[in-house]
Amino acid sequence: MTSGSSPRHQGRADVPEVVVARLPQYVRILSRLRENNAEVVSSHQLGERLQVTPAQIRKDLSYFGRFGKQGRGYDVVHLLDRLKEILGLNDQWNVAVVGVGRLGKAILSYPGFTPDGFRLVAAFDGDPAVVGQDVAGLIVQPMDKLDEIVQREAISIAIVAVPVDRTQHVIDRLMQCGVQAILNYAPIAPQVLPGVRIRNIDPVLSLQSMTYYLGGEGEI
C-alpha cells in the first residue's frame, strides 16, 4: 500500500497517539449509529459512549478538520466516511501472521478482519511440524520464504504470535522485509526501527492494572 498524499497522512506526526487510538472507537460507534438509521450525533452522545468529555471529543476531531455545526452535532454518515478515510479503512491491507500455535490459529480463524479492510494472506512458522498445514484456508509457510511472500503479496502489516525468546528475531526479520506495522502478542516490548509502528498486546498487564481498583487500598 503506498502512502501518496491522502488526507489521512497530512500532519499525522502532530496528532497525539492517544487520539489516533480513539479513532477506531469512533468508527465503531458511528457504524452502529448508521446501522440504526441515526442521522446526527452530538459530542455529548459520543462522549457518553466513549466515556470521555464532549470537550475531548471536539478536541480529538479538530485535529482533522471541522465536522460538526454548533447546536446541531455531527452528520453520522459524513463523519464516519471521513474517519474511515483518515484511518485508511477504505483501502485493503494485506496482513501476515507469524507464529501458528494456538493463538496464531485463533487469529487466522477470526472472521472479523475482512469487513474492516484487513485481508489475512499469509501464515508463517518456524516449526517443520506446523509448516504445510492448512489453517483457515492458508498453507503455513516456512520462515525462509518470508521475504519472498511479503514482497509478492504486498504485505504491510504483520501479527506476531511467537514465543518470547523468538519475538525480537522475528520482528527484525519482518522489518528487513519492509513490514512497517506490527501487532505483537508476546509479553515483551521489542525494539523497532524509526518509522515502524508496533502495538504490544499483553492481557496480563491489563489485568494487573485492573486489580489496583479491585483489591488494593489504592494508597502508597
Residue for cell digits 502508597?
A: 220
117 with 89: CB under 8 angstroms?
Answer: yes
Reported as a single tens digit per residue, the pLDDT across 4-58 is: 334 444 456 688 989 999 999 999 999 999 999 999 999 999 999 999 999 999 9
pTM, two decimal places: 0.83
Three-state secondary structure of 58-117: HHHHHCCCCCCECCCEEEHHHHHHHHHHHHCCCCCEEEEEECCCHHHHHHHHCCCCHHHC
Chain center to CA of 5: 21
**Residue 145 CB neighbour total at 10 angstroms:** 13
DSSP 126-169: S-TTTTT-EETTEEEEEGGGHHHHHHHTT--EEEE---HHHHHH
Q: Which domains does the chain have, with CATH numbers?
A: 7-87 (1.10.10.10), 93-205 (3.40.50.720)
- The pLDDT confidence band at residue 3, using thresholds 50, 70 and 90, is very low
